[in-house]
A and B are shown apart, each in its own frame.
Chain A
Amino acid sequence: MTFELVLVLAAGLFSVGLFGALSQQSIVMIMMGIELMIGGVIVAAADFWHFLAPAAADGQVVIVVAVVAMAVEMAMGFAVTTALYRARQVDTTDMARELKG
Protein backbone atom coordinates (compact mmCIF):
# COMPACT_ATOMS: atom_id res chain seq x y z
CA MET A 1 0.00 0.00 0.00
CA THR A 2 2.87 2.35 0.77
CA PHE A 3 3.94 2.03 -2.86
CA GLU A 4 0.65 3.42 -4.14
CA LEU A 5 0.48 6.17 -1.53
CA VAL A 6 3.95 7.47 -2.41
CA LEU A 7 2.90 7.48 -6.07
CA VAL A 8 -0.16 9.53 -5.07
CA LEU A 9 2.21 11.96 -3.33
CA ALA A 10 4.19 12.21 -6.57
CA ALA A 11 0.97 12.82 -8.53
CA GLY A 12 -0.07 15.48 -6.02
CA LEU A 13 3.25 17.34 -6.26
CA PHE A 14 3.10 17.13 -10.06
CA SER A 15 -0.46 18.47 -10.19
CA VAL A 16 0.19 21.35 -7.77
CA GLY A 17 3.23 22.29 -9.84
CA LEU A 18 1.18 22.05 -13.03
CA PHE A 19 -1.43 24.40 -11.55
CA GLY A 20 1.31 26.90 -10.69
CA ALA A 21 2.99 26.66 -14.08
CA LEU A 22 -0.32 27.20 -15.87
CA SER A 23 -1.82 29.91 -13.70
CA GLN A 24 1.01 32.15 -12.52
CA GLN A 25 1.88 35.33 -14.35
CA SER A 26 5.33 35.89 -12.93
CA ILE A 27 8.09 34.04 -14.77
CA VAL A 28 9.84 33.16 -11.51
CA MET A 29 6.65 31.63 -10.08
CA ILE A 30 6.22 29.54 -13.24
CA MET A 31 9.70 28.18 -12.65
CA MET A 32 8.72 27.28 -9.09
CA GLY A 33 5.81 25.29 -10.51
CA ILE A 34 8.12 23.41 -12.86
CA GLU A 35 10.47 22.64 -9.95
CA LEU A 36 7.55 21.08 -8.07
CA MET A 37 6.64 18.97 -11.10
CA ILE A 38 10.21 17.65 -11.33
CA GLY A 39 10.07 16.99 -7.57
CA GLY A 40 7.11 14.73 -8.22
CA VAL A 41 9.14 12.86 -10.86
CA ILE A 42 11.96 12.34 -8.32
CA VAL A 43 9.55 10.90 -5.75
CA ALA A 44 8.03 8.55 -8.32
CA ALA A 45 11.44 7.34 -9.52
CA ALA A 46 12.63 6.62 -5.97
CA ASP A 47 9.36 4.81 -5.30
CA PHE A 48 9.66 2.61 -8.39
CA TRP A 49 13.28 1.83 -7.55
CA HIS A 50 12.51 0.88 -3.95
CA PHE A 51 9.34 -1.13 -4.45
CA LEU A 52 9.69 -2.65 -7.94
CA ALA A 53 13.28 -2.96 -9.14
CA PRO A 54 15.90 -2.31 -6.45
CA ALA A 55 18.44 -4.53 -8.16
CA ALA A 56 18.62 -2.29 -11.26
CA ALA A 57 20.25 1.15 -11.06
CA ASP A 58 17.92 2.72 -13.64
CA GLY A 59 15.62 4.29 -11.05
CA GLN A 60 18.57 6.04 -9.46
CA VAL A 61 19.78 7.27 -12.84
CA VAL A 62 16.34 8.80 -13.49
CA ILE A 63 16.70 10.75 -10.22
CA VAL A 64 20.13 12.02 -11.31
CA VAL A 65 18.67 13.15 -14.64
CA ALA A 66 15.76 14.89 -12.87
CA VAL A 67 18.08 16.75 -10.49
CA VAL A 68 20.19 17.92 -13.45
CA ALA A 69 17.01 19.00 -15.26
CA MET A 70 16.09 21.10 -12.21
CA ALA A 71 19.46 22.84 -12.19
CA VAL A 72 19.39 23.49 -15.94
CA GLU A 73 15.85 24.82 -15.77
CA MET A 74 16.74 27.25 -12.97
CA ALA A 75 19.86 28.55 -14.70
CA MET A 76 18.26 29.02 -18.11
CA GLY A 77 15.06 30.44 -16.62
CA PHE A 78 16.90 33.12 -14.71
CA ALA A 79 19.11 33.91 -17.69
CA VAL A 80 16.06 34.37 -19.94
CA THR A 81 14.33 36.45 -17.26
CA THR A 82 17.39 38.65 -16.96
CA ALA A 83 17.68 39.10 -20.72
CA LEU A 84 13.96 39.83 -21.07
CA TYR A 85 13.95 42.29 -18.20
CA ARG A 86 17.00 44.07 -19.55
CA ALA A 87 15.53 44.38 -23.02
CA ARG A 88 12.03 45.58 -22.09
CA GLN A 89 11.54 45.76 -18.29
CA VAL A 90 9.10 42.86 -18.41
CA ASP A 91 8.69 40.36 -15.59
CA THR A 92 5.33 38.72 -16.34
CA THR A 93 4.37 36.37 -19.12
CA ASP A 94 1.37 38.44 -20.20
CA MET A 95 3.62 41.39 -21.00
CA ALA A 96 5.99 39.25 -23.07
CA ARG A 97 3.48 38.20 -25.69
CA GLU A 98 5.57 38.86 -28.75
CA LEU A 99 8.93 37.19 -28.51
CA LYS A 100 11.06 39.78 -30.22
CA GLY A 101 14.14 41.47 -28.86
Chain B
Amino acid sequence: MEAVSLWGLGVVALACAVAVFACDSMARATFALLGSLVCVGGVVFVLGLPYLGVVTVLMMVMEMVVMAVFMVAYMMNPAGLMPMSMLHNKRGALGISAAVFASLTGAVFLVDWPQRRGSPPRDTTFQVGKALMGGQMLTMVVLGFVLLATMVAATVLALHRGRYDRLGDDLDRCPARDPAGGGVGR
Protein backbone atom coordinates (compact mmCIF):
# COMPACT_ATOMS: atom_id res chain seq x y z
CA MET B 1 0.00 0.00 0.00
CA GLU B 2 2.75 2.40 1.01
CA ALA B 3 4.79 1.57 -2.09
CA VAL B 4 1.78 2.02 -4.39
CA SER B 5 0.88 5.44 -3.00
CA LEU B 6 4.55 6.51 -3.09
CA TRP B 7 4.77 5.47 -6.75
CA GLY B 8 1.56 7.31 -7.64
CA LEU B 9 2.53 10.49 -5.77
CA GLY B 10 6.06 10.38 -7.17
CA VAL B 11 4.97 10.03 -10.78
CA VAL B 12 2.42 12.84 -10.45
CA ALA B 13 4.98 15.05 -8.68
CA LEU B 14 7.53 14.59 -11.46
CA ALA B 15 4.95 15.04 -14.24
CA CYS B 16 3.68 18.26 -12.68
CA ALA B 17 7.26 19.48 -12.18
CA VAL B 18 7.98 19.01 -15.88
CA ALA B 19 4.66 20.67 -16.76
CA VAL B 20 5.72 23.79 -14.82
CA PHE B 21 8.33 24.59 -17.45
CA ALA B 22 6.41 23.12 -20.41
CA CYS B 23 3.19 25.14 -20.07
CA ASP B 24 2.72 28.34 -22.00
CA SER B 25 0.16 29.68 -19.59
CA MET B 26 1.64 31.09 -16.41
CA ALA B 27 -1.51 30.34 -14.44
CA ARG B 28 -1.26 26.70 -15.52
CA ALA B 29 2.44 26.62 -14.63
CA THR B 30 1.66 27.91 -11.14
CA PHE B 31 -0.99 25.29 -10.54
CA ALA B 32 1.27 22.56 -11.95
CA LEU B 33 3.85 23.62 -9.36
CA LEU B 34 1.11 23.51 -6.72
CA GLY B 35 0.25 19.95 -7.82
CA SER B 36 3.88 18.91 -7.65
CA LEU B 37 4.47 20.36 -4.18
CA VAL B 38 1.18 18.94 -2.84
CA CYS B 39 2.44 15.53 -3.98
CA VAL B 40 5.69 16.25 -2.11
CA GLY B 41 3.59 16.88 0.99
CA GLY B 42 1.76 13.63 0.28
CA VAL B 43 5.03 11.72 0.07
CA VAL B 44 6.07 13.17 3.44
CA PHE B 45 2.66 12.12 4.83
CA VAL B 46 2.93 8.57 3.51
CA LEU B 47 6.47 8.25 4.89
CA GLY B 48 5.04 8.54 8.38
CA LEU B 49 5.19 12.28 9.07
CA PRO B 50 1.54 13.38 9.00
CA TYR B 51 2.09 16.72 10.74
CA LEU B 52 4.88 17.93 8.45
CA GLY B 53 3.05 16.57 5.40
CA VAL B 54 -0.08 18.55 6.17
CA VAL B 55 1.95 21.66 7.02
CA THR B 56 3.73 21.39 3.67
CA VAL B 57 0.46 20.99 1.76
CA LEU B 58 -1.23 23.93 3.53
CA MET B 59 1.79 26.18 3.05
CA MET B 60 2.14 25.30 -0.61
CA VAL B 61 -1.53 26.01 -1.32
CA MET B 62 -1.22 29.48 0.23
CA GLU B 63 2.13 30.19 -1.44
CA MET B 64 1.00 29.16 -4.89
CA VAL B 65 -2.18 31.23 -4.70
CA VAL B 66 -0.07 34.27 -3.78
CA MET B 67 2.35 33.33 -6.55
CA ALA B 68 -0.47 33.15 -9.10
CA VAL B 69 -1.38 36.75 -8.30
CA PHE B 70 2.23 37.88 -8.76
CA MET B 71 2.54 35.84 -11.95
CA VAL B 72 -0.39 37.61 -13.54
CA ALA B 73 0.94 40.96 -12.30
CA TYR B 74 4.53 40.65 -13.53
CA MET B 75 4.63 38.22 -16.43
CA MET B 76 4.72 39.43 -19.98
CA ASN B 77 2.52 36.53 -21.09
CA PRO B 78 0.26 35.66 -18.16
CA ALA B 79 -2.44 33.72 -19.97
CA GLY B 80 -0.25 31.98 -22.53
CA LEU B 81 -2.29 33.39 -25.40
CA MET B 82 0.85 34.40 -27.25
CA PRO B 83 3.22 31.41 -27.39
CA MET B 84 6.76 32.67 -26.93
CA SER B 85 10.01 31.29 -25.62
CA MET B 86 11.17 32.76 -22.35
CA LEU B 87 14.29 30.66 -22.03
CA HIS B 88 17.94 31.51 -22.31
CA ASN B 89 20.77 29.05 -22.75
CA LYS B 90 18.35 26.15 -22.91
CA ARG B 91 20.91 23.62 -24.11
CA GLY B 92 23.41 24.45 -21.37
CA ALA B 93 20.74 24.30 -18.69
CA LEU B 94 19.48 20.95 -20.00
CA GLY B 95 23.02 19.58 -20.02
CA ILE B 96 23.81 20.74 -16.50
CA SER B 97 20.55 19.46 -15.00
CA ALA B 98 20.82 16.11 -16.83
CA ALA B 99 24.38 15.73 -15.54
CA VAL B 100 23.26 16.57 -11.99
CA PHE B 101 20.39 14.08 -12.23
CA ALA B 102 22.65 11.35 -13.59
CA SER B 103 25.28 11.85 -10.89
CA LEU B 104 22.70 12.02 -8.08
CA THR B 105 20.96 8.86 -9.31
CA GLY B 106 24.29 7.10 -9.71
CA ALA B 107 25.22 8.05 -6.16
CA VAL B 108 21.87 6.79 -4.85
CA PHE B 109 22.50 3.33 -6.26
CA LEU B 110 26.25 3.17 -5.65
CA VAL B 111 26.42 4.34 -2.04
CA ASP B 112 26.35 1.59 0.55
CA TRP B 113 23.54 2.93 2.73
CA PRO B 114 23.55 2.00 6.42
CA GLN B 115 20.93 -0.24 7.97
CA ARG B 116 17.88 1.28 9.59
CA ARG B 117 18.59 2.15 13.19
CA GLY B 118 15.86 2.51 15.81
CA SER B 119 12.14 2.48 15.23
CA PRO B 120 9.78 5.40 14.66
CA PRO B 121 8.23 6.89 17.79
CA ARG B 122 4.53 6.49 18.44
CA ASP B 123 3.88 10.23 17.98
CA THR B 124 6.13 11.81 15.36
CA THR B 125 4.70 15.29 15.97
CA PHE B 126 5.77 15.03 19.60
CA GLN B 127 9.24 13.95 18.43
CA VAL B 128 9.78 17.04 16.25
CA GLY B 129 8.23 19.37 18.83
CA LYS B 130 10.45 18.03 21.59
CA ALA B 131 13.52 18.33 19.36
CA LEU B 132 12.73 21.93 18.39
CA MET B 133 12.14 22.92 22.01
CA GLY B 134 15.13 20.92 23.28
CA GLY B 135 18.22 19.78 21.43
CA GLN B 136 17.45 21.75 18.26
CA MET B 137 16.49 24.94 20.10
CA LEU B 138 19.31 26.88 18.41
CA THR B 139 17.89 25.94 14.99
CA MET B 140 14.48 27.20 16.05
CA VAL B 141 15.90 30.48 17.39
CA VAL B 142 17.86 31.06 14.17
CA LEU B 143 14.76 30.32 12.08
CA GLY B 144 12.81 32.83 14.17
CA PHE B 145 15.37 35.56 13.57
CA VAL B 146 15.54 34.73 9.86
CA LEU B 147 11.77 35.04 9.55
CA LEU B 148 11.74 38.33 11.43
CA ALA B 149 14.54 39.73 9.26
CA THR B 150 12.64 38.56 6.16
CA MET B 151 9.47 40.33 7.25
CA VAL B 152 11.31 43.61 7.86
CA ALA B 153 13.47 43.40 4.71
CA ALA B 154 10.59 42.41 2.41
CA THR B 155 8.48 45.29 3.72
CA VAL B 156 11.33 47.78 3.28
CA LEU B 157 12.04 46.58 -0.27
CA ALA B 158 8.41 46.55 -1.36
CA LEU B 159 7.57 49.94 0.16
CA HIS B 160 7.08 52.73 -2.34
CA ARG B 161 7.67 55.66 0.00
CA GLY B 162 8.75 55.16 3.57
CA ARG B 163 8.98 57.61 6.45
CA TYR B 164 12.53 58.60 5.47
CA ASP B 165 11.19 59.77 2.09
CA ARG B 166 8.52 61.82 3.82
CA LEU B 167 10.33 63.20 6.86
CA GLY B 168 13.99 63.32 5.78
CA ASP B 169 17.02 61.37 7.01
CA ASP B 170 16.67 62.67 10.57
CA LEU B 171 12.89 62.31 10.58
CA ASP B 172 12.55 66.01 11.44
CA ARG B 173 11.16 67.58 8.25
CA CYS B 174 7.98 69.50 8.97
CA PRO B 175 5.69 69.45 7.10
CA ALA B 176 6.34 66.08 5.49
CA ARG B 177 7.17 65.99 1.80
CA ASP B 178 4.20 64.31 0.18
CA PRO B 179 3.39 64.04 -3.51
CA ALA B 180 0.04 65.76 -3.03
CA GLY B 181 -0.62 68.64 -0.67
CA GLY B 182 -3.53 68.80 1.68
CA GLY B 183 -4.25 67.83 5.21
CA VAL B 184 -4.12 70.06 8.25
CA GLY B 185 -1.84 73.13 7.97
CA ARG B 186 -0.43 72.40 4.48
Contact = CB atoms under 8 A, between A and B. Distances in A.
A6 B7 CA distance: 8
A49 B49 contact: yes
Contact of B43 (A4, A19, A46, A51): A46
Interface string B23-56: 0001001100100110010011001110010011
Contact of A32 (B33, B49, B108): B33
Contact of B88 (A13, A42, A43, A94): A94
A20 B93 CA distance: 8
Interface in A29-57: 29, 31-33, 35-36, 39, 42-43, 46-47, 49-57
B25 to A, nearest CB: 12
B143 A68 contact: yes
A57 B128 contact: yes
Interface residues of A, number: 71
- Main SS at interface, chain B: helix
- Main SS at interface, chain A: helix
Nearest to B10: A9
A6 B128 CA distance: 22
Interface in B119-143: 119-121, 124, 127-128, 130-132, 135-136, 139, 143
Interface of A: 2-9, 11-20, 22-29, 31-33, 35-36, 39, 42-43, 46-47, 49-58, 60-61, 63-65, 67-68, 70-72, 74-76, 78-83, 85-86, 91-94
26 contacts: A8-B108, A9-B13, A9-B14, A11-B101, A13-B14, A13-B17, A14-B101, A16-B17, A16-B18, A19-B94, A23-B89, A26-B75, A27-B74, A28-B67, A32-B29, A35-B37, A39-B40, A46-B44, A50-B48, A55-B119, A67-B55, A72-B146, A80-B157, A85-B74, A92-B76, A94-B88
Interface of B: 2-3, 6-7, 10, 13-14, 17-18, 20-21, 26, 29-30, 33, 36-37, 40, 43-44, 47-49, 52, 55-56, 59, 63, 66-67, 70-71, 74-76, 86-90, 92-94, 96-98, 100-101, 104-105, 108-109, 113-114, 116-121, 124, 127-128, 130-132, 135-136, 139, 143, 146-147, 150-151, 153-155, 157-158, 160
Please name the 6 residue pairs, one residue from A and one from B, whose CB atoms are nearest each other, closest first: A55-B118, A57-B131, A23-B93, A15-B101, A11-B104, A22-B93
